[in-house]
């Protein structure tokens, strides 16, 4: 699938999948994009799974994606994904 197809429904999950698809298309030019990873801190979970993830250190308010590549004085890039016209949150 293409990034455009993945993002077509406008959901945050679709946009994040499109972002990683776009990264994959540019691995040759920017190999450091291979180090990017998603942080599973959102989504609907039952109480048992939520308690398990909290015990493992998952925290509310943590960004969705991290690229652990230093540039200048920075030690990486956090990315917060939001869908367009979201009523539930602000970045």
Residue 88 lies in a domain: no
Residue 56 lies in a domain: yes
Reading the chain (91 residues) residue by residue, the pLDDT tens digits are 999 999 998 888 899 999 999 999 999 999 999 999 999 887 778 899 888 988 988 888 899 999 999 999 999 999 999 877 655 655 5
Q: What is the rounded CA–CA span in Å between residue 40 and residue 58?
A: 8
Residue 42 lies in a domain: yes
Residue 33 lies in a domain: yes
Residue 63 lies in a domain: yes
Number of domains in the chain: 1
Q: What is the pTM of this model?
A: 0.81
Q: Which domain holds residue 11?
A: 3-79
Q: What is the rounded CA–CA span in Å between residue 78 and residue 65?
A: 6
């Amino acid at each position: 699938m293409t990034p455009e197809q993945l993002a077509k429904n406008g959901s945050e999950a679709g946009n994040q999948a499109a972002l990683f698809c776009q990264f994959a298309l540019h691995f040759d030019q920017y190999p450091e994009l291979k180090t990017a990873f998603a942080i599973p801190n959102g989504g609907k979970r039952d109480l048992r799974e939520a308690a398990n993830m909290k015990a493992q250190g998952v925290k509310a308010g943590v960004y969705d994606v991290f690229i652990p590549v230093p540039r200048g004085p920075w030690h990486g890039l956090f990315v917060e994904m939001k869908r367009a016209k979201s009523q539930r949150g602000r970045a």
